[in-house]
Amino acid sequence: MRQMFVDGRFCESSGSDQLEVRDPATGELVETVLAGTAADVDAAVGAAHAAFPGWWDTAAARRGEALHEATTHARDHLEELARQLTQEQGKPLREARLEVGRCLETLDHYAGLAKNLRGGYVPNLDEGTYGVVLRRPLGVVGAIVPWNFPTTLLANKLGPAIVTGNTVVAKPAETTPLTTLRLAELLHEGGIPAGVFNVVPGTGPVAGAALVAHPLVRKIAFTGSTAVGKQTMASAAEHLKRVTLELGGSDPMIICDDADLDRAVSAASVGRFFNCGQACLATKRLFVFERVAEEVIDKLAGKAAKLRIGPGTADRVLMGPLHAERHRARIEEQVADAVDRGAKVLHGGARPRGEPYDRGWFYEPTLLLEPPADSRVALEETFGPALPIWRVAGLDEAIERANASPYGLGSAIWTRDLHRASVAAERLEAGYTWVNSVNKVYDELPFGGVKQSGFGKEHGVEALDYYQETKSLVVKH
């Protein structure tokens, strides 16, 4: 049975409740993990708080070197981490390797930025007086991470937090704690000091709530649903904690009639069905100009038909199962609602049958044509392999319908027309817009949503601002 990782070692929980980690491809029990209590969170925060002064006193360049050395050590175990991730999360092993590799790249990226941390100097405020802008870390940071990308979404928080001198207590999702616990152990073995990075598995209502409410935690970095994000922000407000929230999305993609249709269709397929559609930044609504709609639909249906579904460890599998039975049930309800309201199923719309599908939580890649505007797939976040498609007369209609959503995380447009691309970039209500590009997030660029999709930025040098306080110093000589 796994335990929590606190102050550089695995230790027992103060409670007896257990979390069951199950293989989404088979439903079989992988391992049990002790569920952290409020007392366990308090112990982890205490360890992080005790480690904070020494970590802050460590030169910024040395903090970056330590993170780089630890990341290099973890990279030697990439295959082990990827296989553990596939087992607990369900994604194909190829995708798991990409995720773990991406996690380590992000940590390395912020390790490299450690030498570039800067304050500021303001001369001649008054006669013989100058000002200095100091940057200092916040203290203990709480990181709450979901199950769909347990390692990369952790790295988005961990990297900027620790290079700026903070210490971290992470709470992974209750269904995917194993890879995070092992990563914490490896980073400590690689040189991250005890107490700088701690992991307490547990449920949201117990461990998560205790972390958000703890008075020594100065900032909460949360990725998850919009509903829980709102609760997190409200709880954090009790102590005026800093927050960054990366929440739900219903990303639109627009395919214009002058686009490279083969590349656009490929991007739509990858954007919708990667990780079985379980991504905040997945393509979740497709708007296609009428003149090319039939060609796009035919090509996309052909792509969906070629996706090999199966357990993540099987050869040549391109799409694994949904993460949990309740997630498949939700997608089935959303698809049924669309069909009942008049949508046409172009492909999929059912569970695959027979071995090995009957034991796991598999669902076919699904394409839905013209669901009504008040259907669930149009209004809600579809966190699974179902893509609604609408024909539009032109760019104005496409943008208007794309923006008719409470979410604003990512967006995309495919066109050869620079004017169309510029109009979309300015008018689409989203924190990220891809033009003729697959949905890839870059460490170099700030990322964060608008509207109901979140608050604050991850990635980019901008992320460092959310883990530091600014202090003004006035010196008269």
Active site residues per annotation: 246, 280
- In whole angstroms, give the CA distance from residue 122 to residue 302: 61
At residue 268, φ and ψ (nearest 5 deg) are -65, -40
Paired with 141 in beta bridges are 168, 219
Specify the residue for token string 């719309």.
Answer: 349
Q: Is 456 helix (H, G, I), strand (E, B) or coil?
A: coil
The bridge status of strand 344-347 relative to strand 366-369 is: antiparallel
Q: Is 385 helix (H, G, I), strand (E, B) or coil?
A: coil
Specify the residue for token string 């790249």.
Answer: 105
CA-based nearest residue to 146, from 283, 8, 281: 281
CA dihedral 466→468→470→475, nearest 10 degrees, is: -160
- In whole angstroms, give the CA distance from residue 464 to residue 456: 11
The helix or strand, by DSSP H or E, that contains position 421, with its residue range, turns out to be: helix 418-427
Paired with 319 in beta bridges are 309
Three-point CA angle 367, 100, 453, nearest 5° = 50
Task: Retrieve residue 354's tokens.
Answer: 């027979």
- In whole angstroms, give the CA distance from residue 6 to residue 48: 8
- In whole angstroms, give the CA distance from residue 217 to residue 368: 45
DSSP assignment of 232-248:
HHHHHHTTT-EEEEE--
Task: Retrieve residue 66's tokens.
Answer: 């330590």
Work out the burial of residue 435: count CB atoms within 10 Å of its CB; fewer than 13 is exposed, 13-18 middle, 19 or more buried: middle
The helix or strand, by DSSP H or E, that contains position 169, with its residue range, turns out to be: strand 167-171
End-to-end CA distance of the chain: 62
